[in-house]
A = this chain, B = another copy of it.
Amino acid sequence: MTQTEHTTDSLRITLVGAGVIGAGWAARCLAAGHDVIVSDPSAEAFEKLQASVQQAWPVLRKRGLAAEASTARVRYEPDLAAAVAQADFIQESAPEREDLKRRLIAAIDAAAPASTPIASSSSGLLPSRLQSDCAYPERVLVAHPFNPVYLLPLVELVGGAQTAHEAIAQARDFYQQLGMRPLVVRREIEGFIADRLMEALWREALHLVNDGVATTEEVDAAVVYGAGLRWSLMGTFLTFHLAGGDAGMRHMLEQFGPALKLPWTKLEAPELTDDLIERVVDGCERQADGRSVDQLAERRDEFLSRLLDLVSEYWPENEGLTGHI
């Protein structure tokens, strides 16, 4: 199988699909010291995956590898049934087409041990549909990671109608052991949480280019020199809580609530009902967790100052290129 003996701490993880996301999973799993089998119809895709793992390895080494971690603990198995037959955990990362994923997951389900979790990397398809052709649908879920998978900690866990609670709990433990931040999505919707947000941004960005308002580099500059710097520390809610001054989110909603009626994006906003206002304000107060807006702002500023020092090393002019703006 591999040059290294299989130890009790390391798991046998089967990755189905060897594209950018599959390769990212391979790097993360290998760095954590696991044995990885990759199944993909294309042997060439597996070669690319190995090259990607090699490319990621120096940064993973810098971040700290498991004692038993090795890039040699990965092997290719084009036969899907053979690839999953002894797996402790299976991660499917095929192209984002429901028909294809359903077929694949059903085939995995038929060949894998009945209790092995099967997680799909789908970025937005409904797990209830992905699991619907399976004999053991209770162990099927979505676990949606973010590129580069071996560095970004977020993974969204979404169960379908037939997914067992224990499968979600088991998956949560598994991804935490991989050093990730599992976010259990409480309601199954298309696009889940993160891609709903990213798609909104992406679609609006496409409209801006399509309408001739901005070029792609101008759109990107509008992110990286502004709000994008904040988003590595705070999401949109806590960000606006701080923009509201001492009164926080409540003041912010009074001040910018009316703008929700304006045509400031192609997306229509929900009605700002009293109930929604309360939910948003309460949520922000929970997030602030006793810290005043001033205290939050002070920590944010310290972070932003250090981030500016760091990120400006990577700005085009400091890479010897012509800047965007």
Given A216-B287, A267-B265, verify A148-B201 contact (CB < 8 Å).
no
Interface size class of A (residues with CB under 8 A): 35 or more
Give residues 202-230 of A contacting B (CB, 8 Å). 202-230
Q: Cβ of A324 < 8 Å from any Cβ of B?
A: yes
Set B215, B232, B236, B307: member contacting A219, Cβ < 8 A: B236
A131 to B148, CA, bound (A): 46
Bound form: Cα–Cα A227–B225 in Å: 16
Min distance, Cβ A260 to any Cβ of chain B, angstroms? 7
Taking CB atoms, residues of chain B closer than 8 Å to A263 are: 190-191
**A302 to chain B: closest residue by CB:** B59
Q: Which residues of B contact A213 (CB under 8 A)?
A: 185-187, 189, 193, 196
State the main secondary structure of chain A at its contact with B.
Answer: helix
Q: Which of B19, B152, B238 contacts A304 (CB 8 A)?
A: B152
Known contacts A220-B234, A322-B289; is-contact A154 B59 (Cβ 8 Å): no
A residues near B (Cβ < 8 Å) are: 19-20, 48, 55-56, 59, 62-63, 95-97, 123-124, 146-148, 151-154, 156, 181-187, 189-191, 193-240, 242-246, 255-256, 258-260, 262-270, 272-273, 276, 279-280, 283-284, 286-287, 289, 294, 297-308, 310-311, 313-314, 316, 319, 321-322, 324-325
Q: Which 10 A/B pairs are nearest by Cβ-Cβ distance? A: A220-B235, A216-B283, A191-B264, A154-B226, A228-B231, A267-B267, A200-B204, A154-B225, A223-B235, A216-B237
Could you name 27 residue pairs across A and B whose Cβ atoms are closer than 8 Å?
A: A55-B297, A56-B301, A95-B255, A147-B239, A154-B225, A181-B225, A183-B325, A187-B213, A193-B208, A196-B213, A196-B264, A199-B259, A200-B200, A200-B203, A202-B236, A203-B260, A205-B236, A206-B260, A206-B276, A209-B276, A209-B279, A210-B279, A215-B283, A219-B235, A227-B231, A228-B233, A267-B267
